[in-house]
Amino acid sequence: MNDDIKSIVIVGGGTAGWLSAGIIAAYLQKHHSKKINITLLESSDIPTVGVGEGTWPTMRRTLKDMGIRETEFIKKCNVSFKQGAKFAKWVTGENDDYYYHPLELPTGMFENNLATSWLNINNAQPPFAQYVSAQQSICESGLAPKQITTPEFSAIANYAYHLDAGLFATFLKNHCIDNLNVKHIVGTVAGVNNCTNGDIKSVSLNNKIEIAGDLFIDCSGFKSLLLGENLGVGFKSCKDVLFADSALAIHMPYKGDEPICSHTLSTAQTSGWIWDIGLQTRRGVGHVYASNYISDDEAKQQLFDYLNINQAQQSKYKVKKLTFEPGHREKFWHKNCVAIGLSAGFLEPLEASALLLVEISAKFVAEQFPYNECLMAITAERFNRTFSYRWARIIDFLKLHYILSKRTDSPFWQAHCCTQTIPQSLKDNLAIWTFHTPSDNHFDHSQEVFPAASYQYVLYGMGFLSSTELHNNPDCYFKKAQALVNNNLRHTEQLLKKLPTNNALLEQIKQFGMQQI
């Protein structure tokens, strides 16, 4: 057929471009009988943003499917292990105020919902995450999620990664070129050429070369060169819901033998929050804030205060400024162009959703690849419906962290709790969760970006109390629940004894590597 899709052109490199190229190329080589040519075009004079250094456990499967050795990835991308996020000063702002969102499901999540049991002993309980999982204790002890004898990509405790985004993009580029037959062209786009039906025909470079394709993937960053500028797809801001629009990032060297955190640390500030991510050789730290509530200078000073950098030392540190409009495109796939990464949208990296969205977007394209032009419109409509829903749910989940806060010490926190800034879908769920603990059947899709377990961790970590009066659970429920809790306690004790520290495991991997599955 003359309308078969034979070529894909990805405009833009960085993590989004090369991760998309790798995911799609690896899948199509394995599952598609005909060869699909994939070309990635990137400019040599546009630096990558590189602030999203946190991933989800899905990245393990993604890398494995691409044929990447976990040992090499860890060695070459300054990788450390991530087992969840610790949120400090989000509820009261006091020094002892923190809770965890681990990456493991609560113990017995699908057998006995322990949230009900925890709520019934609310006056004497350990923190919810500690009650239902071993992972909070593992993280607080600075331990790794596996041992050196655990095979690559396998886990004792569920884990993701912290990584250097710049090194990761280069690592992916080399793998895609050397192993997945992705063609790489360096050049700056000077123009986009459309067909009479509005589809993109080709892109012209500043050296007069023209690159034609059947399907174009826009990974051009905030500029959204293809989908936004050329095809005119509008942008849907959510700044009325999520106020953060700026970030300051800094690289911090370790002082001596500092422990490498096995979790992301997010510490609330007067008008935003500070992320703190431990890599092998440094920490990546940044202040995400709302410019309507705090000046850049004040935000920078809060960052320096957090890092205990006095005024005399501040000039020694390079601070990178990033501004963004929170939100996403009105649609993500139009004509023969799909946007992935920053070209599709951006939200504050509170739950590290940026790279996840790249992963699941590229996998959608690969797994539902439009074999010909007739399927393009059908696939595009399904993609838009799916990802409009996913972006809306991510916005809801990020907003949840703010509206449950009891902080009233600044206009930023007060405004976040105003009813008119809360999406109706989130209000509806909160009304339900006043009488029911979050369950997967409270959501529209069987596979949610943030499942019920994530909502439980945040709700009960921040002190939200569901009524237990309507839960007339029989005694056998509480006996089973107590048995699960006791098992979790024993399991936690065992892991605390046998797991190495994050530092020790990373050093062993550098020396010996891990065994392949």
Binding residues, as ranges, are 13-16, 82, 189, 342, 351
Tokens representing 247 are: 């970030």
CA distance 260 to 79: 11
Residue 455 CA: distances (Å) to CA of 47, 307, 392, 396, 507: 36, 30, 15, 10, 35
**Is 86 noted as a catalytic residue in this protein?**
no
CA distance 429 to 320: 38
Query: 107: exposed, middle or buried (C-beta count within 10 Å: 0-12, 13-18, 19+)?
Result: buried
Residue with tokens 């953060």: 244
Residues marked as binding for L-tryptophan? 351
CA distance 223 to 229: 8
Residues 6+ apart with CB under 8 A from 390: 357, 360, 449
In the chain, the N- to C-terminal Cα span, in Å, equals 41
CA distance 169 to 354: 14
Residue 163 CA: distances (Å) to CA of 20, 78, 79, 235, 361: 17, 6, 5, 29, 20
User: Using alpha carbons only, what angle is made at residue 514 by residues 511 and 515, rounded to the nearest 5 degrees?
Assistant: 135
* DSSP track, 385-431: HHHHHHHHHHHHHHHHHHHT----SSHHHHHHT-GGGS-HHHHHHHH
Residues in the chain: 517
Q: Which strand ranges, in their side-by-side order, compose the sheet holding 189-194?
A: 189-194, 200-205, 210-212
Residues marked as binding for 7-chloro-L-tryptophan? 82
- Contact between 479 and 126 under an 8 Å Cβ cutoff? The reply is no
Query: 330: exposed, middle or buried (C-beta count within 10 Å: 0-12, 13-18, 19+)?
Result: middle
List the one residue out of 375, 382, 369, 284 whose CA is nearest residue 331: 382
User: Using alpha carbons only, what angle is made at residue 303 by residues 416 and 97, rounded to the nearest 5 degrees?
Assistant: 55
Residues marked as binding for FAD? 13-16, 189, 342
- Contact between 10 and 365 under an 8 Å Cβ cutoff? The reply is no
CA distance 325 to 472: 47
CA distance 482 to 497: 23
Given 35, 82, 316, 406, which residue is catalytic? Answer: 82
Q: Write out the catalytic residue numbers.
A: 82
